[in-house]
Chain A
């Protein structure tokens, strides 16, 4: 946070009431002075995860281990609605 001033929380959990909400709250509470923009989250859509891989791909977020697979990370952080 101190280095980038930005926070993007990515988890496989559902977005609504997912644990990213708690992390976002903690960041806002404790690291507010370092924040250079809104904390953003990416999570699974608020639906069950389908068996069909074509659907699973759109339900689950991309692999968080590889930031290069987040082509829209910067745009998401800028608050743009349509990343990429």
Chain B
């Protein structure tokens, strides 16, 4: 009632059904997700129920790995500010609202995740208009809040954070919720930056889930006390007491709601289920096929030979010149966060100088340092990409990537692929590019820069396209004599290798388009089979090929081999 669908942005907790209904998600849509229907608006049968996602309403899906939503909300809000500053982005159709708010909610248990604190830190530091709603029901499944939070309440820990407005309210009282949240939101819209954390004390009306039985850890007296606070029965009594409704009206309302839910359930039960041969839909981008031949260009060799670092730098520079949606951030990637120093100093520009002079050229809105927090970097990049930016982030060493790996593996590769709305593919999703230096000849033990052993883990996983320069690392760093000589002096577009197909998807007896056969075949066997031998001449079906024609990069203009 105080936030606007399609205007504000939402990272809604799985207990936010009331919010979702109010924003405009229909009971039928909710039931379609519960039953895994093909046209469910959140995921089309990929995601668990109550993991809300709705493109039209600006609701971004989130995973069960609770706590991951906070950093993405920060990135989303940051992107809104960036789009408002950079007119070129708006010309390319990226949307923002001048008074938009990003809403992110979670239970009190999720505030124990480190990413919650990383997000709060960055939100306060950048003064982003984010509303953190903490729905505090005092239990994370069976673990009570005193085992989660020092002092037993999150409020005591956050109320003095810089610029953060903190409010506490009775979340079981709809009128108090409306009064306090209206005021908080109005203040944020007016100032266009204020960030707030609202702690709502609520009860959990039943066990955590069907697999949980709260009688195992909650005494009867406590359960009865919670039942007395139940907002539905309490508000009903309030309406009767104040003469705002009579018993008959309430009974009729309940009956009509029951009928609506029942009808919605029946409609959802009759709706189509996803076809088995759609399992690869949205694993990769439906918009762009990076393995397409359209990305293959011939190098235009000119100028003096360069090191690979110089070439990466030139490539980023040219791409940033071409596309205002590209932002670069990470640890030490800026030339100097304190801009006034740039008049006197050469600038850092990355521990390997890959981003040197990019801040000087494009400004600090586009090239900036992150906190020393890898999940922060990737989580925010995902939120930015949701809004259509093309963040390029750097993790200094591959060994430093693990704090971010949950965001990469669960969110970037899996979760964020799930929620592509069927009819509007790609509207939300422009996934970030990442570059991370592969092992450099720095010998500082297994957990600093020894990245060789990490490659297997980094290689595993669906939904990510990985690329690495194939020259020896010493050559990349320019430390070997003659290292500069063999590298091509100019930029060239190279299509990414096509993902290998599981054999059962490669060919059917009826050749191209034999999908009917594939479906039957899959149903009988399941899983993927090692290809084992080259594909036959039959129709090759590419799981990562979108329905649309590829959108290759236009040829680079400018002189690519020019030093930065």
Contact = CB atoms under 8 A, between A and B. Distances in A.
Interface of A: 10, 13-18, 38, 40-48, 50-55, 57-62, 71-72, 76, 79, 81-84
30 contacts: A14-B460, A15-B502, A15-B529, A40-B532, A42-B527, A42-B528, A44-B527, A45-B462, A46-B528, A47-B283, A48-B414, A48-B462, A48-B463, A50-B46, A50-B274, A52-B273, A58-B276, A58-B279, A58-B522, A59-B526, A59-B527, A71-B524, A71-B525, A79-B532, A79-B533, A81-B504, A82-B504, A82-B509, A83-B525, A84-B521
Contacts of A44: 527-528
Contacts of A82: 504, 509, 521
B530 interface: yes
- Which 9 A-B residue pairings sit nearest by Cβ, starting from the closest? A61-B527, A52-B36, A52-B45, A17-B460, A41-B530, A58-B522, A48-B414, A46-B462, A45-B528
Contact of A55 (B279, B283, B417, B527): B279
A45 B463 CA distance: 11
Given A16-B459, A38-B532, A57 B526 contact: yes
B163 interface: no
Contact of B527 (A62, A79, A81, A84): A62
A9 B72 CA distance: 38
A48 B502 contact: no
B460 A55 contact: no
Contacts of A14: 460-462
Q: Which secondary structure dominates chain A's binding surface?
A: loop
Contacts of A45: 279-280, 462, 502, 527-528
B190 interface: no
Contacts of B43: 51
Contact of B499 (A40, A46, A72, A83): A46
B33 to A, nearest CB: 9
B199 interface: no
B528 A15 contact: yes
A32 B43 CA distance: 46
Contacts of B525: 58, 61-62, 71-72, 83-84
Nearest to B508: A82
Residue from B459, B504, B525 with most neighbouring chain A CB atoms (10 Å): B525
Given A42-B527, A81-B507, A54 B459 contact: no
Contacts of A46: 283, 462, 499, 502, 528, 543
B398 to A, nearest CB: 15
B524 A84 contact: yes
A60 B276 contact: no
Contact of A54 (B47, B274, B462, B521): B274
Contacts of B528: 15, 42-46, 61
B274 A52 contact: yes
B276 A55 contact: yes
A54 B526 contact: no
Contact of A53 (B36, B414, B461, B522): B36
Contacts of B461: 14, 17
Contacts of A62: 525-527
Interface in B505-564: 506-507, 509, 521-530, 532-533, 536, 543
B456 interface: yes
B46 A55 contact: yes
Interface string B408-436: 00000110011000000000000000000
B95 interface: no
B36 A51 contact: yes
Interface in B247-284: 273-274, 276, 278-280, 283
Nearest to A12: B527
Nearest to B501: A46
Contacts of A47: 279-280, 283, 462-463, 543
A71 to B, nearest CB: 7
Residue from B49, B506, B523, B526 with most neighbouring chain A CB atoms (10 Å): B526
A9 B35 CA distance: 33
A14 B283 CA distance: 14
B530 A15 contact: yes
A62 B527 CA distance: 7
Contacts of B499: 46
B498 to A, nearest CB: 12
A40 B462 CA distance: 20
B124 interface: no
Given A16-B500, A46-B543, 14 more contacts: A16-B459, A43-B528, A47-B280, A48-B414, A51-B45, A51-B47, A55-B279, A57-B276, A58-B522, A62-B526, A81-B507, A81-B533, A82-B504, A83-B525
A10 to B, nearest CB: 8
Nearest to B418: A48
Interface string B30-73: 00000010000001011111000000000000000000000000
